[in-house]
């Protein structure tokens, strides 16, 4: 597979997973949340300072359709992660002119 | 395993944030050696894929779910330093954009998932790679075992933080048993997803895989003689 098509395939797979498949994810508490509930320290959690933000809890504020809201949030997250992480790694990388 | 605000007190959170910052700074330096024009985009894709798959909670046991952590996956694909950076970016964006994980707890989560899980993965992967035959399936298997152990290892990191600075008084032993037990189950899912993803990259672009590089080099030497 060519480098470019490999990257594009991976990016499309990520968009599909976050944008479509995410709707079907389990909504049960995760391992830490469940342990906190069972043992009893879940009450010490404070509300997230960003709890009212436009994308809080992987939903887009104002979009009522749950499937659309989760999917859009996932796509925004994938694009944001893709741009920021690739940008950082390209900055950090050994440039082709550099000596090892 | 994204820790919300409030579980752990502020002094402990601040101390772990300082340790995490040192680890991330060292990784910014260390990642230079493993990232070049070809592998830097793969590292970006790895972070992106991990973000996407972290949205996919799978059921593990009665009323509990888990999702990929991604430390072993990233470590095998792009090396431990870039893996630390990749997971840290994911955790930062999750906390800032999606209110997933508390901002005051970010250092705690980075310590557990970007540092402990990555370096435990790396140690296990290297040890297994040494004793297993030099094949692609060995790389996939070693990545799977590293993934399985990395999740309870990160959970143990939380228990350490709980022992030092919990805002609750429940016994540390009970938290340890519950956290490690639950996260071994999640680790099984982690291993399956990691083996699938590592296997897919090895099948299409094995030349980019950090954990497979040594193998390739030795093959090249042999073919030249």
CA distance B107 to B131: 35
Sequence-distant (6+) residues with CB within 8 A of A80 are B93, B97
Residue B14 in contact with residue B65, Cβ under 8 Å? no
Give B23-52 pLDDT, tens digit per residue: 999 999 999 988 999 999 999 999 999 999
**According to the model, what pLDDT value does residue B84 have?**
98
Name the DSSP class of B212: G
In a domain, A74, yes or no: yes
Q: Does A58 touch chain B (CB under 8 A)?
A: yes
What does the block give as tokens for A10? Answer: 């991976």
Q: Which residue of B52, B103, B167 is in closest CB contact with A17? A: B52
Q: Look at residue B148 in the predicted model and tell me its pLDDT.
A: 98
With an 8 Å Cβ cutoff, is A65 touching chain B? Answer: no
A30 is in which domain, residue-wise? 8-92
Count of pairs with CB atoms under 8 A, one residue in A, one in B: 231
| Mean pLDDT of the A46-70 span | 94
- Residue B225 reports pLDDT greater than 50: no
Q: Is the pLDDT of residue B173 over 50?
A: yes
Number of domains in chain A: 1
**What torsion do the CA atoms of B4, B87, B115, B196 make, to the nearest 10 degrees?**
110
Decide if pLDDT at A18 tops 60. yes
In a domain, A100, yes or no: no
**Which among A13, A30, A85 is the nearest to B86, CB-wise?**
A85
Q: Tell me whether residues A82 and B98 touch, CB distance under 8 A.
A: no
Contacts 24+ apart (CB under 8 A), B213-220: B214/B129, B215/B134, B215/B139, B218/B134
B152 interaction partners in chain A (CB closer than 8 Å): none
In a domain, A54, yes or no: yes
Q: Which domains does chain B have, with CATH numbers?
A: 10-224 (1.10.1760.20)
Instruction: Evaluate whether residue A2 is within a structural domain.
Output: no
């Amino acid at each position: 597979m060519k480098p470019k098509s490999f990257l594009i395939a991976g990016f499309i797979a990520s968009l599909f997973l976050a944008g479509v498949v995410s709707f079907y994810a389990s909504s049960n508490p995760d391992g830490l949340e469940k342990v906190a509930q069972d043992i009893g320290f879940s009450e010490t959690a404070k509300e997230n300072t960003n709890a009212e933000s436009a994308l809080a809890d992987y939903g887009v504020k104002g979009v009522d359709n749950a499937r659309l809201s989760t999917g859009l949030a996932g796509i925004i997250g994938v694009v944001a992660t893709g741009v920021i992480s690739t940008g950082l790694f390209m900055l950090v990388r050994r440039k082709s002119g550099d000596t090892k | 395993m994204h820790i919300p605000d409030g579980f752990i007190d502020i002094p402990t959170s601040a101390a772990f944030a300082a340790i995490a910052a040192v680890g991330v700074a060292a990784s910014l330096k260390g990642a230079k050696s493993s990232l070049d024009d070809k592998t830097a985009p793969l590292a970006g894709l790895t972070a992106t894929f991990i973000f996407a798959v972290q949205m996919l909670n799978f059921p593990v046991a009665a009323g509990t779910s888990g999702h990929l952590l991604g430390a072993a996956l990233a470590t095998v694909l792009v090396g431990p330093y870039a893996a630390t950076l990749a997971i840290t970016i994911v955790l930062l964006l999750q906390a800032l954009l999606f209110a997933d994980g508390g901002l005051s707890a970010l250092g705690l989560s980075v310590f557990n998932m970007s540092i402990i899980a990555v370096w435990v993965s790396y140690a296990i992967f290297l040890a297994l790679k040494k004793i297993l035959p030099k094949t692609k399936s060995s790389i996939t298997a070693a990545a799977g075992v590293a993934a399985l152990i990395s999740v309870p290892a990160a959970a143990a990191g939380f228990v350490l933080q709980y022992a030092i600075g919990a805002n609750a008084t429940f016994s540390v032993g009970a938290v340890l048993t519950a956290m490690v037990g639950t996260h071994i189950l999640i680790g099984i899912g982690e291993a399956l997803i990691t083996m699938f993803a590592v296997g897919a990259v090895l099948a299409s672009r094995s030349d980019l895989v950090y954990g497979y590089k040594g193998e390739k080099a030795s093959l090249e030497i042999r073919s030249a003689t």
